[in-house]
Amino acid sequence: MKKIALISTICLLIDQLSKLILEHIYHLNQTTTIIPSFFAFTYVKNEGAAWSILAGNQVFLILISITSIFLLYHFFIKNKKTNMIENISYGLLFGGIFGNLIDRIIRGYVVDFFDFTIFNYHFPVFNIADICIVIGVLLLMIQIWKGETHENRSRQKPQTNGSISDGNIGYK
Which residues are annotated as catalytic? 112, 130
* Single-letter amino acid, residue 158: P
d(CA 125, CA 130): 10
Torsion of CA 119, 96, 50, 127, to 10 degrees: -50
Torsion of CA 156, 162, 168, 171, to 10 degrees: 150
